[in-house]
Structures are given as structure tokens and as C-alpha cells.
Amino acid sequence: MGKVVVFGSFVVDLMARSPHLPIAGETVKGSMFKMGPGGKGFNQCVAAHKAGADVTMVTKLGRDTFANVALDTMKELGMDESHIFFSDESETGIALILVDENTSQNEIIIVPGACNTITEEETDGLEELIKGAEYVLMQLEVNQDANERVAELAEKYGCKVIVNTAPYSKISDEFLSKTYMVTPNEVEAEELTGVHVDSLDSAKKAAEYFYKKGVKKVIITLGSRGVFVSSDGNEEIIPAFKVNAVDTTGAGDAFNGGLLCALAEGKSLEEAARFANALAALSVQKLGTTPSMPTRDEIEAFLKEH
């Protein structure tokens, strides 16, 4: 199995559940509150780690009590803590998550904090780590200049860059040209390409946009409909597993972490997407993001059963 890196965000999730999501100016009495580790990068890394990947997390925390939420989780799970940066000026990031307990729909506000302040000096210190990695997975939740510098390092050493284009923000053609694979959901794909993705044909059109920018492989997640996979001229939608969703908040992160793990094991893109679908299907059946990521045994059992 190849070594992999997740370069990205950590935030503390502050999650409340209520009978409905508030409209502007409304106060709703909630039924539950939970605090725990989160952030797209951290969720994806935990998903990959628990699925069996040899993965290193790179993120930046403040020097505050919220930083311990990350460090304690990493210790508990036996994760590599050697590439965590700290900021003396910025606080650890947070996410305010509101979940409708009847529909599982959610609304999220993210304040990235320290992980939005990763410096050139810090990314330069990752050279040996990137040099020894097969894949680096990143998102758009940290300062983009740091993502771009890591992509340059990856290009220098032949490490493949996977970009989960979430949360949506504009990215340069130069950055895309260094990207091996993109994994937007259908909303992000439309924002990036201008193509409304609602079928196999429209997904192919969106993929074409990325190919013109130099991206090698395209995956578009389509929620309950499954995943569009485009690789070497083969294009298909791999259906999602049917499960009873309790909380869909971390589904995309579960998928990306599972994908990273499966690719590091040498699975084909189609096999990797199916493995990642299983991981996502398991994650939505539990509350929370990081805590909902399944173990390798759970994933194997689920795939046997389905």
C-alpha cells in the first residue's frame, strides 16, 4: 500500500439538532447538542485511516482548548501527529452545524481560523512527506495559496493530487493543470463548469471541462443517485447503496477518505468508487462526522452483504 497525505482543514464541529431549520430571525428550540472533531480535511483523513490507509494529516490549529479536540482524537485513533502546525495568532477553526431531525438536511457555517493561515515556510517543510507519498488529497477549506504550493511540490515528486472541490470557491487553471483527479459533488461541478449535472450525458460534459484544464480523472458525487466516474474514456454512474440516513453531514468526506484508501491499495477507479460508496453509506447511518466513519471490518462486512 502506498503512503498518502491529507492536506487540509480541522475545525471543531458544534452540532445542534432541531425539529426544523430556523428561517431568518427565528429561534428554534433544539433537541440535542454535540461537539466533536471535524473539518473536511480531518474527516477525510480519519475516514482513510480507519479504512486502513497509511495516511498522514497536515493541518494547523490554534493554541487553545479546541486544538485538544484534534490532538486527543488523533491519539485515540493512533494517527500520525508529526505534521500538525500551530498558530499563535489564530484560533482553532469551528463549524456551526444545524441538522433537521426529520429530514436530515443541514445548514453549516465554517470559520476556518488557524487552518486558513498555513504559511509558505510550513508548506516548504512538507517536501520529504510529499516526496514519499503516492497521493495527496486536499479540499478548498484552507488558504488556497497553501494548496497551490503543495500541488507544486506534488508535481515535482510525481505525487498525484486529488482535489475535493469543497466548499466551492474559484480555482485557477494552473492549479487544475497540476491536479490528477477532482471529486466535486453535482452542485460544485455546476459552479465550476457551468454545466447542470443531472444525467450521465451532462456529467460527461462537465468532465470534459476538467479534461480541457489538464485533469486526468473525474468523479462527480450525485448524492443518493450514486457517483459518476470518468477515467480513460470509460464513463459510468456507480449507484449508491440504499440505506436509512440519519445524518448526511459527513457523507462526502467519508467518500473521499474511502476513495483515497482504496486508490492507495491499487484498486481501479471503479472499485475504489464502490468501496468509497460503502464507506459513505455506513457513515450516514450514524450521527456526527468524524465519529461516524466506519472501520475496515465494517466496510468489508457491508460490501459482502451488498
HEC string of 59-105 equals EEEECCHHHHHHHHHHHHHCCECCCEEEECCCCEEEEEEEEECCCCC
Grid coordinates representing 166 are: 469543497
CATH number for 95: 3.40.1190.20
CA distance 51 to 195: 33
Q: Is 228 domain-assigned? A: yes
CB 204 within 8 A of CB 196: no
The answer to whether residue 2 is domain-embedded is no
- pLDDT at residue 295, rounded to an integer: 94
pLDDT tens for the 306 residues of the chain, in order: 899 999 999 999 999 999 999 999 999 999 999 999 999 999 999 999 999 999 999 999 999 999 999 999 999 999 999 999 999 999 999 999 899 999 988 898 889 999 999 999 999 999 999 999 999 999 999 999 999 999 999 999 999 999 999 999 999 999 999 999 999 999 999 999 999 999 999 999 999 999 999 999 999 999 888 999 999 889 999 999 999 888 777 899 999 999 999 999 999 999 999 999 999 999 998 877 788 899 999 999 999 998
Give the span between the Cα atoms of 281 and 294, in whole angstroms: 10
Active site residue 253: yes
H/E stretch holding 229 reads strand 227-231
Inter-axis angle of helices 251-264 and 269-283, nearest 10 = 140
**141 within some domain:** yes
In a domain, 213, yes or no: yes
How many domains does the chain fold into? Answer: 1
- CA angle, residues 215, 141, 292, in degrees to nearest 5: 100
Residue range(s) defining the domain that contains residue 212? 7-305
Q: Has residue 253 been placed in a domain?
A: yes
C-alpha cell at 269: 477507479
Instruction: Please give the pLDDT value at position 257.
Output: 97
The residues pairing with 12 across neighbouring beta strands, listed in sequence order, are 37, 94
Return the exposure string of 267-292: e unless at least 16 CB atoms fall within 10 Å of the residue's CB, then b: bebeebbbbbbbbbbbbbeebbbbbb
133: DSSP letter = -
Residue 260 belongs to some domain of the structure: yes
Catalytic pick from 54, 88, 201, 253?
Answer: 253
280 within domain boundaries: yes
Q: What is the DSSP letter of 185?
A: B
Question: Does 78 fall in a domain?
Answer: yes
What does the pLDDT read at residue 223? 86
252: closest CA among 208, 203, 219, 212? Answer: 219
- The CB density around residue 296, as the number of other CB atoms within 10 Å, is 14
End-to-end CA distance of the chain: 25
